[in-house]
Amino acid sequence: MPLLTQRIQDESDQYCLVASLDNVRNFSTILKAIHFQDHATCFVTKNGVKVTVENAKCVQANAFIKAGVFQEFLVREEPIIFRINLTVLLDCLSIFGSNPMPGTLTALRMCYQGYGHPLMLFLEEGGVVTVCKINTQEPKETLDFDFCNTNVTSKIILLSEGLREAFSELDMTSEILQITISPDTPYFRLSTFGNAGSSHLDYPKDCDLMEAFHCNQTQVNRYKISLLKPSTKALVLSCKVSIRTDDRGFLSLQYMIKNEDGHVNFVDYYCCPDEDIPQAES
């Protein structure tokens, strides 16, 4: 063992990123929340890791894992950007099983030498070490949704349990999910228009589920249900969700996810509205 530690320490000088973690699940859980495409772009700065997944140039999901989540987090140059196969990365992170036996933790040491090098993962559980090398790819430009606070027209903070069931029961025969946010009834409404008919789900403004409700002007926007459905992965892990729309109808869903250590992490989903808005039937 000392030999291995020695070697790792020697090598750590050549890495531009070294991060270690006692419990790999604190990292993998957050990644699972955005795992709806195979490939992801990773940005690493001294503050932490941001992993971005996009689909159809219309939806973007970002997972932020703060540096504090890691026990050791060394970044020698900033920023580090690479693209990686997220499915493979998650498979490697759960190489000892995704549901570990109680009391056993898988530790992770993650190293990256820089552009063109593979991402090295050292996973250890009960004295068994697995080394994974995942090839990194040329980073691709990610979308800038230009979603800034000043243009936000409505903002809702909900306890996730109130939305969980709604998302799991979404009528997938409907092509779109229509979100209505208004200062008067129905306040916050999710509507689908499927083969069997339409469904509306109304949340009152003042209820225990609703932590905050800000809206000055009625806004009705439609989003492709197939683009929003993957956010259910983040929703089921989260405890609170912030729903914001801006003046262009862009949607921001921000999920607060608490990991096993009590650290708070955030996962963002941005989604473009559906262009053609037929006259709403409601």
Piece of 83-91, 134-142, 163-171, 215-223 that binds another protein (CB under 8 A) = 163-171
Among 149, 195, 216, 279, binds another protein (CB under 8 A): 195
3-class secondary structure per residue, 41-73: EEEEECCEEEEEEEECCCEEEEEEEEHHHCCEE
Among 83, 142, 162, 232, binds another protein (CB under 8 A): 162
Site for another protein contains 197 (CB under 8 A): yes
Among 55, 199, 218, 219, binds another protein (CB under 8 A): 199
Site for another protein contains 236 (CB under 8 A): no
Query: What is the torsion angle, in degrees rounded to the nearest 10, for the CA atoms of residue 152, residue 157, residue 160 and residue 166?
Result: -60
> Which residues, numbered 88-107, are part of the site for another protein (CB under 8 A)?
none
Sheet containing strand 119-125, edge to edge, reads 72-75, 17-21, 107-112, 119-125, 128-134
Site for another protein contains 169 (CB under 8 A): yes
The CA–CA distances, whole Å, from 95 to 59, 99, 111, 232, 241 equal 29, 10, 17, 24, 30
Site for another protein contains 279 (CB under 8 A): no
Report which secondary-structure segment, H or E, holds 232: helix 232-237
Which CB, 149 or 279, lies closer to another protein? 279
Site for another protein contains 124 (CB under 8 A): no
User: Helix, strand or coil for residue 3?
Assistant: helix
Site for another protein contains 13 (CB under 8 A): no
List residues near another protein by CB under 8 A: 162, 165, 169, 171, 194-204, 207-209
